[in-house]
Structure 1
Amino acid sequence: MAGSEKRPRRTKFQSDQDELKLRAAYLYYVEGLTQEQVAQHLDISRIKALRLLAATREDGTVQITINSQAESLIRLQRNLEKHLGLTEAIVVPASSQDEESVAAVVGHATGRYISEQVTNGLSIGVGWGATLQVCMRSLIWREVDDMTVISLLGGLTHATAHNPSAVAWRFAEFYRTELYQITAPVFVPDRELADALWKQDDLKQLYERARAVDIALLSVGDVGTQASIFRRGILNWSDAKSLKDAGAVGDVLCHFVDADGNVLDHPVNHRAMAINPADISRVPKVIISSGGLRKIHAIRAGIAATNAKLLITDVAAAQALLELPPLEQAS
């Protein structure tokens, strides 16, 4: 037609290059071959394979999309990291806000994550809670040498499956490694006894070990009627009321903290045979594993109290945390 532009005719070389590019893209993006395998399959150099794959992205031959559900989770995680000053947030969907359902999914994700962190020579401090109990059932075995587990809390004189020190014991047993325990009840009758116990050489040494761990794995509790620490009779309901009246929003390692993560000057805290959360704020990696809408204030306070850089939680809690004031952490 008159006035129409004539497209340049494609050469056989250009057609061959396009076909090669498409084949490379299919092998790499659809079949999942490595760049080296693509090069071998097409009988070209690895550099040429790399250039072909780069070209498919640049000219639109390959357009990458992310599953919408996965994309929304990633966006939620990134927003949470910025909002709470975290290095990493892991957010998992929970089918309901039932405590067992949330603990199951968050605990499972925690077990998978912490299993990847287990290495020779690692020292890890371990807290307690329903989520961490589930975490212990999701660990992946690997053989490690010279690893040390430190329980960050005392125990109960009447031992049960919910004994605060049991989580660390199970972790150490699973990986067949050394365990250091606080050989005292998690709460003693008065401050004087707690002070005297902490002066014992073995407990002083354990405290120093706890402050020097490579990783601290914790959960948090709230100050409500469903909180394990009250429901299981470790502390009584009058303690709960007194702590609430003093401004407590939750407990971190059996120390009750206010909304900004400050450990309260309260008689209950002075009786605790557990590591003070402020004393692990210099640990290189502090992980808080906790979920559920009722715990969001405790989670935020726990991050502030410990300078935690990694949070594992559920979607509903993550979304609710974004509605709370942002948190700036110490570097």
Structure 2
Amino acid sequence: MARTATRQKKTKFQSDQDELKLRAAWLYFIEGLTQEQVAQHLGISRIKALRLLAATREDGTVQISINAQAEPLLRLQRALERHFGLFEAIVAPAQDQSETSIAAVVGHATGRYISERVSDGLTIGVGWGATLAACMNSLSWREVENMTVVSLLGGLTHAAAHNPSAVAWRLAEFYKTELFQITAPIFVPHEELASALWELDDLRQLRKRAGEVDIALLSVSDISKQASIFRRGILSWEEGESLRAAGGVGDVLGRFVDAEGTVIDHPVNRRAMSINPADIRKVPKVIISSGGVRKIHAIRAGIAATNAKVLITDEAAAQAMLELPPLG
């Protein structure tokens, strides 16, 4: 009789270990991967994969069928991975489709994901957005040594909330790590000023450091009046309309990209004090954490722009994204 995987009496993943166990069981028992392939896919040692699989049998994870509520999410995750060439997709169930609720749910999943991956000597580059701000509320403490946080974009001279540079600061503060910041507004008045600032030795070194991080954690947004960057007046909606007219579909690190992830030729982009998405394409692990059906075109563009291999999103956005053209 075929064996499959389930979590009894659970409607969602209750811990990172439970999730890892369920993913291992799915890959091994459902998709027929070898133990070595399971280990490679999950980025763990073969010994740990063996222990996880053994635990699934001992604690009842492996039974006859997959829990009806867990199975659709796992299938959706695997479909996203194939559709966009991802190494890993994490889909969080979000019944409430309000922007605040989606940010909270996706942010929670992101906080759990990052907490399991912080380690001694890690360098992590960080973007901004409501989802990443929510992520900071779900971090789990562990003591790490020689970890470094690099902010991938500038800040605001006046901000009541959601300063673009604040997410990196909060992550560094939480884990008591070194922090490198772009000490300039995210958008300066003139592109000549932006060019001059990037010539400063400190910012030139930070730009180089940003391309050498181990992990880049980003969020993306669309170009709409609902997007934070326009709603909060960081850019005017007239500029937003101009960006859309130039082919822009989304914002990745304060740089506006077209549907295929190319940074568009526009004055706003030339005024940005942020890392160009193309500069992090070689980062070993780029994570995009973003949800909401409104943002699906921006998420797809963000994956293309950064060569992201990990996506953390919500269920409704994941289903809608599968209707978009795959990435070649």
Compute the TM-score of the two structures, normalised by the length of structure 1: 0.80
Compute the displacement of 1:249 (Å): 0.5
Which structure would you say has the larger Rg? 1
Q: Given the superposition, is the C-alpha separation of residues 316 and 186 from structure 1 closer, same or farther in structure 2, using an over 3 Å criterion?
A: same
Deviations 1:90-134 (A, max 9, x none): 001101210001001000000000000100000000000000000
User: Residue type matched to 1:266 in 2?
Assistant: H
- SS of corresponding position for 1:311: strand
Deviations 1:197-254 (A, max 9, x none): 0000000000011000000000001101100000001000110010010111100000
Aligned residues: 273
Match of 1:241 in 2: 241
Match of 1:97 in 2: 97
Superposition RMSD on alpha carbons, in Å?
1.8
Which 5+ residue runs of structure 1 have no aligned equivalent? 1-28, 31-49
Distance in 1 (alpha carbons) for counterparts of 2:225 and 2:184: 26
User: Residue type matched to 2:245 in 1?
Assistant: D
Compute the displacement of 1:63 (Å): 5.1
Compute the displacement of 1:161 (Å): 2.1
Match of 1:321 in 2: 321
Distance in 2 (alpha carbons) for counterparts of 1:63 and 1:119: 34
Please give the residue correspondences for 1:75-90 in structure 2 after superposition, counting only pairs within 5 Å. Answer: 75-90=75-90
Please give the residue correspondences for 1:190-209 in structure 2 after superposition, counting only pairs within 5 Å. Answer: 190-209=190-209
Matched, 1:108 2:75: no
Please give the residue correspondences for 1:260-299 in structure 2 after superposition, counting only pairs within 5 Å. Answer: 260-299=260-299
User: Residue type matched to 1:82 in 2?
Assistant: R
Q: Given the superposition, is the C-alpha separation of residues 142 and 63 from structure 1 closer, same or farther in structure 2, using an over 3 Å criterion?
A: closer
Matched, 1:137 2:137: yes
Deviations 1:265-309 (A, max 9, x none): 100000000000000000000000000000000000000000000
Distance in 2 (alpha carbons) for counterparts of 1:166 and 1:105: 20
Compute the displacement of 1:65 (Å): 1.2
Matched, 1:301 2:301: yes
Please give the residue correspondences for 1:40-79 in structure 2 after superposition, counting only pairs within 5 Å. Answer: 64-79=64-79
Distance in 1 (alpha carbons) for counterparts of 2:141 and 2:160: 25
Match of 2:188 in 1: 188
Distance in 2 (alpha carbons) for counterparts of 1:96 and 1:305: 29
Distance in 1 (alpha carbons) for counterparts of 2:69 and 2:230: 37
- SS of corresponding position for 1:213: coil
Distance in 2 (alpha carbons) for counterparts of 1:293 and 1:263: 22
Distance in 2 (alpha carbons) for counterparts of 1:159 and 1:172: 19
Match of 1:150 in 2: 150
Distance in 2 (alpha carbons) for counterparts of 1:66 and 1:154: 46
Distance in 1 (alpha carbons) for counterparts of 2:165 and 2:83: 32
Compute the displacement of 1:159 (Å): 3.0
- SS of corresponding position for 2:69: helix
Compute the TM-score of the two structures, normalised by the length of structure 2: 0.81
- SS of corresponding position for 2:279: helix
User: Residue type matched to 1:154 in 2?
Assistant: G
Match of 1:40 in 2: none
- SS of corresponding position for 1:68: coil
Compute the displacement of 1:160 (Å): 2.7
User: Residue type matched to 1:194 in 2?
Assistant: A
Distance in 2 (alpha carbons) for counterparts of 1:71 and 1:63: 13
Distance in 1 (alpha carbons) for counterparts of 2:267 and 2:212: 27
User: Residue type matched to 1:274 in 2?
Assistant: S
User: Residue type matched to 1:75 in 2?
Assistant: R
Match of 1:170 in 2: 170
User: Residue type matched to 2:81 in 1?
Assistant: E
Distance in 2 (alpha carbons) for counterparts of 1:183 and 1:159: 15
Distance in 1 (alpha carbons) for counterparts of 2:145 and 2:63: 45
Match of 1:39 in 2: none
Compute the displacement of 1:327 (Å): 0.8
Deviations 1:149-200 (A, max 9, x none): 0000000011332100000000000000000000000000111000000000
User: Residue type matched to 2:296 in 1?
Assistant: I
User: Residue type matched to 1:276 in 2?
Assistant: N
Distance in 2 (alpha carbons) for counterparts of 1:97 and 1:242: 29
- SS of corresponding position for 1:125: strand
User: Residue type matched to 2:221 in 1?
Assistant: G
